Amino acid sequence: MAKKVSVRLPAEWEPQSGVQLTWPNEGGDWRGRLDWIEASLAGIACEVSVREICLIATDNLERTADIIRKAGARMDSVRLYEIESNDIWARDHGPITVLKNGRPVILDFAFNAWGLKYPGNLDNLLTRRLAEAGAFGKTRVRTLPLILEGGSIESDGAGTVMTTAECLLWPNRNPAYNQRQIDAQLRRYLGAERILWIRNGHIPGDDTNSHIDTLARFCSKDTIAYCGCDDPSDESYLSLKALEEELRALRTLDGKPYRLERLPMPTPLFDAQGDRLPANYANFLIINGAVLVPAYGVPQDSQACHILAECFPNREIIGVDSRGPVVIYGALHCVTMQIPKGVLS
């Protein structure tokens, strides 16, 4: 009789071997703002490198190394690879690692830049290029045709995956598949026992079709932190209220309501053209021994850190300036991808 194959998508709070960043280049969205975003990423690299490996894909090894060294990164924990990219959003083009019979396997899903909104040809190849360069050692890399972004899925590590219908059913991602078919593929590739399809919630300025990592995050198997809004005049109020009601109706695998922790919305931020930016606190990153929380220089920063300290009592809570990436419609979690224990060395 064939041995049963067990596949599991680890929760973000499980032990990690490292975090991937994709360094910005001098073209594209960052022209004239490169120093700002590099400072933000260097801050993340510093916090990561004292706790685990920081893996960086960059088209300029010398410049990147110089920046993070001057910022105070622990260089013996940094791994730099010279690879071209379109953009910095490692969460969405980076490796998604599952455990197959307890051993890590990297899934390289297709990436088409959030439904063909932007150029993404180089980012779609980035995980393969890292693998070819030896970044993942002997870990198997499996390339898959399904278009799936890391920011669109949340795992509790115990068989539940949470996602949003707006994103995964967006017609420019996987037009040949309906919800039932995508659900089946997530169960197959990620080992999910059930998929929680969230149908409400939108952060103003978001251009990902409502990634779950901007709305609601697992903090444990029975705890979800989510974005809430108290201002009825805010454009996100009704959508986030509906999200809250939807989350209240969810149940854990053992049939109990989730413990829900409501994160505030930061004071609205706008770009130079007056467009609202997608600032939020759900976009935090869990690493070994700490939680990195996006900070925007507004009063709600400290409140968000306090709430997340209640969710993660055994981890250090660290605010990281995220005003750089939010100008181009992302934040801290969006620019990172955690890699579980057993992959990097």
If we measure between CA atoms, which residue out of 215, 231, 240, 219 comes closest to residue 291?
219
End-to-end CA distance of the chain: 35
Q: In the prediction, which pLDDT does 28 show? A: 65
Q: Which structure tokens are listed for 18?
A: 């490292």
Contacts of 1 (CB under 8 A, 6+ apart): none
Per-domain residue ranges of the chain:
7-340
What is the helix, strand, coil percentage profile of the chain, to 5? 30, 25, 45
Q: In the prediction, which pLDDT does 26 show? A: 81
Task: Tell me how crowded residue 5 is: count the other CB atoms within 10 A of its CB.
Answer: 8
Rounded Cα gap, residues 16 and 292, in angstroms: 14
- Average pLDDT across each block of 10 residues of the chain; the chain has 345 residues. List them in order: 78 99 84 88 98 98 98 99 97 99 98 97 99 98 98 98 98 97 98 98 96 99 98 97 99 97 98 95 99 98 99 98 93 98 94
Is 7-340 a domain of CATH 3.40.50.2000?
A: no
Q: Which structure tokens are listed for 59?
A: 């088209």
Q: In the prediction, which pLDDT does 30 show? A: 73
311 in active site: no
Report residue 199: phi and psi, to 5°: -115, 0
Rounded Cα gap, residues 300 and 255, in angstroms: 33
State the chain's maximal CA–CA distance in angstroms: 64
Q: In the prediction, which pLDDT does 3 show? A: 57
Q: Which structure tokens are listed for 221?
A: 């198997």
Q: Within 13 Å, how many C-alpha atoms sit on residue 232's CB side? A: 0
**211: amino acid identity, one letter:** H
How far CA 102 is from CA of 6, 20, 185, 340, 341, in Å, comes to 8, 22, 20, 11, 11
Report residue 10: phi and psi, to 5°: -60, 150
Of 54, 227, 229, 334, the catalytic one is 334
